[in-house]
Amino acid sequence: MRRFRNSLLVGAILVLVAAVGAGAQNREPQTSGLDITGAWYSGGASMEGGANTELVDYSGLPLSEAGRLYALAWDPSRWTSRQQQCMAYEPTRLLHGGGNFRFWEERDPTTQKLIAIKFYGQITEGTRTVWMDGRPHPPAYAKHSFLGFSTGKYEGNVLTVYTTHLKRNYIRTNGVAMSDQTTLVEHFIRHGDRITYITVLTDPVYLTEPLIRNSDMRRSARNPEAWLYACDDGEQILGRPDDQVPNYLFGQNPYLREHADKYHIPLLGALGGPETLYPDYKEKLASATDADAIARIRPLPNAPAIASRAVDPDPHDGEIHVWPVQGNVYMLIGDGGNIAVQIGEEGALVVDTGTGKLAAKTVAAIKKLVGDKPIQYIVNTSFRPEHTGGNVMVHEAGSDPSLVGSFFSAGAQSFSDAGVGATIIAHNNVLNRMSAPTGQVAPTPSAGWPSDTYLQGRRRKYYNDEGVEILWQPNAVTDGDSIVHFRRSDVIVTGDLFTTTQYPFIDIKNGGSLQGLIAALNRILDRTIYKHQGEGGTLIIPGHGRVCDEFEVAEYRDMLVIIRDRVQALIIKQGATLEQVQAARVTADFDGRFGATSGAWTTNMFLEAVYTSLKEPTKSGSAKSSMKTR
């Protein structure tokens, strides 16, 4: 009953907060208010934040079906993967949990107006900024972080904080997850040397309704000496292949009954759901049967297909938006696939060119970045039209001065348009897909074909005082995929090997395979390094979606491995057909984030590609040479 009483207490506090806020609506925004500066500690580490949680204890959490299935499939050994060993806490786990906290203000040195409130939490060394100067939240294509982007305001004697742009994380340390679509509202109410801390966490993917929690903080009598949280990733499970991710198949969690049996409660009560939040649920449990609970540990049969509930990161306003990524690299968003631009004293190197519908605006945006320097190189990560559609116009807007005056522009080996237009670079299979044998009609205009191709391994350049590597990823999404690594800027452009918007478009007919894609994602992770507590460092520009770092790439890899394991088990153990695999809803815990029920690439199409990859594995190998030129 403790949780029920806490829920009623929190509800009463929120009514008070709302009343205070309503009374302040007719006043000018406050530039100062509640003072929470100083050192604080948790009034008692709760199960919501610390490590003292038990497996399969989800009671009191309004989990959706996807949230429950994700938690049941979660193997504690996931913590041993490199990308999760040091991952930082999200705000509620940081402040509801244990450890020491420090809060301080950042003020304008001239006007003394409050700019921001800074938070520091000892656990995972979480440094957080709450902007108090009225600035807007970033666009949907901006990078997420474990602590998100926060703005705040005073509502009477209450500090209210709004947070977006959070990474996928854990609500509890027993596999209960929050998605990267989560938003958070926090209220800080000070009473002398105590702070009442209230959080309202909303997640359209893994929760059915907001999760409201509260805890107390107490002011430290003196500044604590323990502020650090030393963590570095290491090899915790020797010999485990990179394409193995610990997980439990649906219905096979070995700890399913451990918590329920220990406390002599019905299993149904431990599985969570919105009904477990309310006092009358205790009466409903009295008549619950074991069969009621068992029905919830697998996806519900014949349930309607679920489409992604994620915010669309593309602007869709007919404009090209420029976003600084890191170093000399920028991302251009708005024309279908993402476009990357590296600039410097020599000119611009462009990775992919979008669909071409906004090509003129793309060229204008690039020229604004590079000034009077040429657009010298274009690199295509694949042949797909959302990445090559602007090739012709971007090519014609550029030039390659490195070819003028060389044997490419004079002599027996010369070609007439050497240096005229930007040089297009890609794997040779991209040229194969975009062109056609002599006498046949090509699917794309020849002016947009790659003229500088490579066959295997890598193509490398030193451009704008930076090493640039173009690396082939065989039989991944297609047979001609490349990633581009800007080594000094430490940015990797992945093309469609990694996206934040959908399940991967594995093009079986053009040489793609699930196994090759997982291998490609692991090769990307071999090149990344985080800056601090599992995030930052190497930044990733995906084929579609927002700027990321290695954590999101690892999450995408983990998802594909888990789905592979489920489909493989159905094929091997049950001899399942494609239709049976699709009906089994093996993606039920990921559909709310990546699923599609209509359009060019649906969840069922993705599952067909996975099924075909596993039934008829593609053999990776060197691409055949095709000596086509423009």
Q: Render pLDDT for 192-209 as a digit per residue (tens, 0 to 9).
A: 999 999 999 999 999 999
Q: Is the pLDDT of residue 22 over 90?
A: no
pTM value is: 0.92
pLDDT of residue 411: 66
What average pLDDT does range 264-280 have in this prediction? 93
pLDDT of residue 618: 52
**pLDDT digit string (tens) for 152-200?**
999 988 999 999 999 999 999 999 999 999 999 999 999 999 999 999 9
Q: Is the pLDDT of residue 66 over 60?
A: yes
- The closest of 279, 257, 228, 241 to 100, measured between CA atoms, is 228
Task: Report the distance separating Cα 357 and Cα 337, nearest Å.
Answer: 11
**pLDDT digit string (tens) for 432-472?**
999 988 778 999 999 999 999 999 999 999 999 999 999 99
- The closest of 339, 373, 376 to 354, measured between CA atoms, is 339
What average pLDDT does range 204-215 have in this prediction? 96
The percent of residues in the chain predicted with pLDDT above 70, rounded, is 90
- The closest of 567, 543, 568 to 556, measured between CA atoms, is 543
Long-range contacts of the stretch 103-111 (C-beta < 8 A, 24+): 103/36, 103/37, 103/38, 103/40, 104/37, 105/37
pLDDT of residue 10: 52
Task: Report the distance separating Cα 407 and Cα 418, nearest Å.
Answer: 9
Alpha helices in 336-401 (DSSP H): 359-370, 385-388, 391-396
Q: Is the pLDDT of residue 333 over 60?
A: yes
pLDDT of residue 620: 41
Task: Report the distance separating Cα 309 and Cα 318, nearest Å.
Answer: 23
Q: Is the pLDDT of residue 6 over 60?
A: no
Task: Report the distance separating Cα 564 and Cα 305, nearest Å.
Answer: 19
Q: Residue 214's beta-bridge partner residues? A: 198
Q: Kindly report which listed range (105-114, 281-290, 374-383, 521-530) carries the lowest average pLDDT score.
A: 281-290
Q: What share of the chain is helix, strand, coil (3-state, %, to 5)?
A: 25, 25, 50
For residues 507 and 478, is the Cβ–Cβ distance under 8 A? Answer: yes
Q: Is the pLDDT of residue 113 over 70?
A: yes
pLDDT of residue 403: 86
Task: Report the distance separating Cα 75 and Cα 70, nearest Å.
Answer: 10
Q: Is the pLDDT of residue 23 over 50?
A: no
For residues 177 and 84, is the Cβ–Cβ distance under 8 A? Answer: no
- The closest of 557, 531, 593, 520 to 168, measured between CA atoms, is 593
Count, residues in the chain: 630
Mean model confidence pLDDT for the chain: 90
Residue 591 CA: distances (Å) to CA of 49, 204, 299, 498, 546: 27, 12, 12, 16, 19
Q: Kindly report which listed range (43-47, 217-221, 332-336, 408-412) carries the lowest average pLDDT score.
A: 43-47
What average pLDDT does range 416-442 have in this prediction? 89
pLDDT of residue 31: 53
The percent of residues in the chain predicted with pLDDT above 90, rounded, is 77
One DSSP character per residue, 391-412 reads: HHHHHHT-B-TTTTTSTTTSST
pLDDT of residue 405: 76
For residues 430 and 442, is the Cβ–Cβ distance under 8 A? Answer: no
For residues 566 and 249, is the Cβ–Cβ distance under 8 A? Answer: yes
- Phi-psi label, residue 490: left if phi above 0, alpha if psi -120 to 50, beta otherwise: left
Q: Is the pLDDT of residue 5 over 90?
A: no
Task: Label residue 230 by pLDDT band (50, 70, 90).
Answer: confident
Provide the token pair at 548.
Answer: 């990321």
Task: Label residue 627 by pLDDT band (50, 70, 90).
Answer: very low
Q: Residue 247's beta-bridge partner residues? A: 74
Task: Label residue 629 by pLDDT band (50, 70, 90).
Answer: very low
Q: Kindly report which listed range (48-57, 248-257, 419-428) carries the lowest average pLDDT score.
A: 48-57
Task: Report the distance separating Cα 539 and Cα 466, nearest Å.
Answer: 16
Bridge-based pairing of strands 348-351 and 375-379 is parallel
pLDDT of residue 624: 45
Exposure on the CB side of residue 267, measured as CA atoms within 13 A: 14
What average pLDDT does range 104-131 have in this prediction? 93
CA 414 to chain centre: 46
The position carrying tokens 């679509």 is 181
Provide the token pair at 16.
Answer: 């008070």
Q: Is the pLDDT of residue 25 over 70?
A: no
Task: Report the distance separating Cα 245 and Cα 231, nearest Å.
Answer: 21
Residues 6+ apart with CB under 8 A from 260: 56, 266, 267, 269, 270
Task: Report the distance separating Cα 347 and Cα 367, nearest Å.
Answer: 10
Task: Report the distance separating Cα 307 and Cα 313, nearest Å.
Answer: 16
pLDDT of residue 4: 41
pLDDT of residue 45: 53
pLDDT of residue 418: 76
pLDDT of residue 235: 86
Task: Report the distance separating Cα 320 and Cα 331, nearest Å.
Answer: 10
Provide the token pair at 100.
Answer: 């020491």
Task: Report the distance separating Cα 34 and Cα 17, nearest Å.
Answer: 14
Q: Is the pLDDT of residue 98 over 80?
A: no
- The closest of 445, 397, 455, 405 to 425, measured between CA atoms, is 455
Q: Is the pLDDT of residue 30 over 70?
A: no
Q: Is the pLDDT of residue 282 over 90?
A: no
**pLDDT digit string (tens) for 120-135?**
988 888 899 999 999 9
Where do the domains of the chain lie, and which CATH numbers do they carry? 2-24+32-55+76-219 (no CATH), 321-615 (3.60.15.10)
For residues 285 and 88, is the Cβ–Cβ distance under 8 A? Answer: no
- Phi-psi label, residue 239: left if phi above 0, alpha if psi -120 to 50, beta otherwise: left
Q: Is the pLDDT of residue 341 over 60?
A: yes
Bridge-based pairing of strands 211-219 and 194-202 is antiparallel
Task: Report the distance separating Cα 47 and Cα 73, nearest Å.
Answer: 20
pLDDT of residue 566: 98
Provide the token pair at 116.
Answer: 């921001």
Identify each DSSP E strand in 423-505 by its residue range.
423-427, 452-454, 458-462, 467-473, 481-486, 491-495
Exposure on the CB side of residue 398, measured as CA atoms within 13 A: 34
Task: Report the distance separating Cα 160 and Cα 189, nearest Å.
Answer: 9
pLDDT of residue 46: 57
188, containing H or E segment:
strand 183-191
Task: Label residue 630 by pLDDT band (50, 70, 90).
Answer: very low
